[in-house]
Structures are given as C-alpha cells and as structure tokens.
Amino acid sequence: MKSEDNNMVDTIQSYKEWTLAKLDKTFGLHQVRTSTALDSWLDGEADITDFETQTLNRFLEKLCIGVYDWNETELAYNFIGPILALVDYTSERFNFFAERSFSGKVDGIEMGGRPDGMIASGFREPEKPFFCFHEYKKEKDPEGDPAGQTLAAMLVAQEINQHQFPLYGCYVKGEVWHFMILQDRNYCISNGFLATRQTDLYNIFRILRVLKTIITKILE
C-alpha cells in the first residue's frame, strides 16, 4: 500500500497491517480452492480489437524490458495504468479511482486505508467499491502480504455493500497477476497470470474487460 491518511485515527487498523493469516483468525475467513463466481469471471468472454491487441503487444515489450528493475511507481505508470486505461472503466456511474481513502467496520473492528486502486460507483468521488486493486513492489525482495492487504479492503467493501454481491479483487507482484473473489466469509485466489507471457497478458486484459461488464450489470 501507499502511505495512509495522516489524519486517520490510531484505532483504525490500516489495510497494510493485515495478512491472510491474521484475517483468517480474526474474522473466521476460509480460503476455498474453487469458486463458481471466480470461474465465471475468469472464463467470461470479451472482445479484443486489433488495435487493443497491437497496443497490448507494445506494453508487453515494455514490461519484459523493465519489470525486474522498476519500483512500484514505475510499474504502475509504465504498465498497470496503461492497461487499465485501455480497458476504460470511466463512465458516469462508476470509475477507476487511485489511492482514495475508505474505511468501515468489520465485526466491530474499524479498518481503513488507501488501496492503490478500486472500481467504485460514483463519477467524481468513489461511493461503493466493487473491486479492490493492489500493485506491489518490484519483483525483487518484496515485503508484506499483498493478498492480505487486498482482502482487507475487500472485506470493508463487502460491509459497505451489505453483502449483496461478490467482491472482486486483484493484486500484482511484478509480472504476476492474481485475481480474487470474496463471498460471505469465503475467498478464492486464482493461479498467477504471467503478464510477460503474451497469452496470459491477453487473458488479463479480457478478465479486466469482463469485470467492466459485471459491474455494469450490478448497477442496472
């Protein structure tokens, strides 16, 4: 996670403090090996135009050259941001927001922070989050638990949305992308997609495009 809001009350536990082990013990979470909702998301269909394919190939070349040396900000600016911009989540009903603070209580424990990114309802400001995103440090010597930090934000988003639908998430460690889903107290994490592999990169883009369709349907 990036730096937290300096005005945040000390009693609020920052997302960056959480690990999967701590979340499991504190909230009685259970990691499941399979999830129908996750499979439906990952296997969903979405068209990719010739222009998008050509653009993804250019991003692929840039990633292959720089991923092992980039820091977190360089990874975000040179690769992740352009991918998300190509998917294009901008609309009057929902948008992609970066480093926006949100917090809430889960089982009486107040949690909050600034996820690296989220897709939420709202045009100028985020309202209800549907997808939490965390980009991690460069591939070398990472620290912390990006899956735990993402899941912590997803738990708060789940409370904000009153458990009405699955919560979606993704974390990136260097060239590897993992997608996540949270339903009730069960969560599932996908196998890694290697963004330096062309087929996987196309799948990452397709999955992000499918997410746009899912969120559009939620808001109908």
Residue 8 pLDDT: 43
Q: What is the pLDDT of residues 101-114, one digit of tens each?
A: 999 999 999 999 99
Q: Map out the domains of the chain as residue ranges.
A: 13-218
Q: Taking the model in full, what pTM does it have?
A: 0.91
pLDDT band for 214, please (50, 70, 90 cuts).
Answer: very high
CB atoms within 10 A of CB 47: 7
Query: To 10 degrees, the CA torsion angle through 35, 36, 40, 43?
Result: 60
Q: List pLDDT tens digits, range 1-56.
A: 444 444 444 589 999 999 999 999 999 999 999 999 999 999 999 999 999 999 99
> Is the domain covering 13-218 a CATH 3.90.1570 domain?
yes
Question: CA 59 to CA 136: how far, in whole Å?
Answer: 18
In whole angstroms, what is the distance from residue 147 CA to residue 190 CA? 11
Instruction: Determine how β-strand 94-97 pairs with β-strand 117-121.
Output: antiparallel
Nearest to 131 by CA among 71, 73, 201, 84: 84
